[in-house]
Amino acid sequence: MKSLALRPSAFLATSILCVLFLVSPAYAQNKAVEGQARGLQKKAMQEDYLATDFEKAQEKLSTAITKCGNDKCSAMMRAELRRDLGVVQIGGQIDKDKGMANWVEALKLEPRMELDPDVKTKELEKIWEDARRQATGGGRGGGGGGGGSKNTEAPTGDFTHTAISEQLVRTPLPIYAEYGGSEEVVRVVAKYKGFGMPDWKTVELKKHEKGYGGLLPCLDVQQGDVTYYLQGFNAANDPVATSGDRNNPYRVKIVAQLNGDAPHLPGVSAPTQCADPGAATDCPPNFPGCKKAPPPEAAATTDDDASKKSDGEDCEESSECRSDTCKAGKCSGSTKKFRRFWVGVSLSYDLVFLGSASDVCKLDPKTTAPVNTAGYYCTADGGDYPLRTGNGAQNTAIVQGKLDTISGGVAPGNLRINLSVDYAVTTNIMLGARVGFVANTYSGQAAKDEGKAFAPLHLEARGTYVFGKDPIAHDGIRLMAFLGGGVTEHDAKLDVNVYETQTDGSADKKKTVQAWAIGGPGFISVGAGIRYTFSQRLALTLAPKFDFALGGAGLLPVFSPELGFQVGF
């Protein structure tokens, strides 16, 4: 029998077919496993992790890693799974050491891999770089702040304080501490971090019973751990007392269900849980990439700017500064957002201080100007008295030195209604202008013709200083002072009696006329009072002020209290 022998080319073709027959099912199977792993990864990170259900996220990622094994998924897929599992374990504060080990393994598989920008925080970035150094043989680095391993040593310091063991998620976290140190403390704050928060925040603890108490805002109390430490400040805003610090803070576990009684401040009911903002944000507040929902009324206790540092003070993070800006170790920038433009209306009423004078209505027959030097002009029946027209008989008839006298005092003057525009240069200084109408002005014509009376208009430039720390940016009552100047009419009238000689030889006749004190048209205004800002857009002002009218008659003092209302833009 003749034996069959395969040619080399036939043998090669047969071998390739056999390999393809054996490999194709395995390749298809691996693609299916990687698809399953990808699905678990998406559910873990896009659903469970964002809902802060870290245990479920860890379980799904661990299942995906098991499915992939050492060769059923691509190296990139296995690296991504290890990376994301580390994010859950470290970010969710489940187990930092395991998370670090998973990150090292991920970076060994793919050395150029980076954190997912959707979940990246400053704290995670620091630990990620430590893992990269370990993966490349650079040694073990530090833990990177609050995301590091838990310090089992209880914080100590100048305050008597015991942290609560756990708090319900989305519920204000009570903090109470008593101080017995030798340094004088005028303010106590808690610096804290919740899950997903890149920076430390500050909340002020108010005087409460024998110590200080306050609540951390509910929207910062998310499942995981909240860490915090205490600081006390003296009158110069220098930290003189502490308990705990950033490297060894107090730690409270935030849980979905409490095992015991709800924690509360001494003598106060336990705070209630806030509504879940997840429906509006799809992720925890302050989480990177998320839009923060407005806090509900239950979260009324928030960060108080009064506990933060002013421009020029030393800082480590921007959150320590009122300006939210820390540059080169110093707080800098505008200390508070505030309304720059203020438009308003004001009302004032003049009380004029009159000088004494005699023969206030008598005119110089040559110039027809009043002979008195105090600036008085007289009117009768709404017109000039005596008349400037004709042969001067009315002026000649006035008996000089008989009545026709003003002894001084205070007389009612003008009513002013002004529109105002002010620009807040800083949170203390405002520059602006006022324009308006003046009522109860001089009714004659002679003073106008001689340039002594202006017009029923008020034109003023004004600078205002409001006292206090950022007063224009805060609600409440503040003292203020201002200086202004411009042109307007200042005048007041008094009834005076004159005697007129009768042409028929009968006794002199007494006549009642009005004597006008006219000042201006220039003036300087000085005042001080209060500015009550009852919202950042609405303000009420009340100020006693003095106007000093300057003109041909000299100086005319006027007391003119002012009431104003302003709207900020």
Give the separation between CA 206 and CA 209, rounded to whole angstroms: 10
Structure-token match 């390749």, residue found: 27
Backbone φ/ψ region at 206: left (φ over 0), alpha (ψ -120 to 50), beta: beta
In this structure, are residues 249 and 305 in contact, taking their beta carbons and an 8 Å threshold? no
| 139 pLDDT above the threshold of 70 | no
Where do the CATH 1.25.40 domains begin and end in the chain? Answer: 18-145
18-145: CATH topology is 1.25.40
Q: How confident is the model at residue 138 (pLDDT cuts 50, 70, 90)?
A: low
Higher-pLDDT residue of 492 and 296 is 492
341-568: CATH topology is Porin (2.40.160)
Structure-token match 């998310």, residue found: 222
| pLDDT of the residue at 467 | 95
| pLDDT of the residue at 382 | 83
The pTM of the full predicted model, rounded to 2 decimals, is 0.46
Q: How confident is the model at residue 122 (pLDDT cuts 50, 70, 90)?
A: confident
Radius of gyration of the chain (CA): 42
Q: Distance between alpha carbon 161 and the CA centroid of its chain, in Å?
A: 31
Q: How confident is the model at residue 188 (pLDDT cuts 50, 70, 90)?
A: very high
Q: How confident is the model at residue 376 (pLDDT cuts 50, 70, 90)?
A: very high
| pLDDT of the residue at 289 | 45
Degrees to nearest 5, angle at CA 309 with 183 and 145: 85
Closest CA to 484 of 415, 418, 569, 414: 418
Where do the CATH 2.40.160.20 domains begin and end in the chain? Answer: 341-568
| pLDDT of the residue at 150 | 42
| 336 pLDDT above the threshold of 70 | no
Report, as an integer, the average pLDDT of 97-107: 88
| pLDDT of the residue at 449 | 87
Report, as an integer, the average pLDDT of 410-438: 96
pLDDT digits (tens, 9 = 90+) for 498-507: 999 988 878 8
| pLDDT of the residue at 278 | 57
521 prior amide bond cis, ω within 30? yes
| pLDDT of the residue at 4 | 44
| 420 pLDDT above the threshold of 90 | yes
pLDDT digits (tens, 9 = 90+) for 226-282: 999 999 999 888 888 999 988 889 999 999 888 888 999 998 899 999 987 654 444
Where do the CATH 2.60.40.10 domains begin and end in the chain? Answer: 159-303
| pLDDT of the residue at 529 | 96
Give the separation between CA 349 and CA 384, rounded to whole angstroms: 25
Strand order in the sheet with 398-403: 383-385, 376-380, 509-519, 490-500, 398-403
Give the separation between CA 100 and CA 133, rounded to whole angstroms: 11
Q: Please give the mean pLDDT across all residues of the chain.
A: 83
- Please tell me the CATH code under which domain 159-303 is placed: 2.60.40.10
Q: In the chain, what percentage of residues exceed pLDDT 70?
A: 83
DSSP characters over 254-278: EESS-SSPPP--TTSPPPPPPPPTH
Buried residues in 5-17 as b, exposed as e (16+ CB within 10 A):
eeeeeeeeeeeee
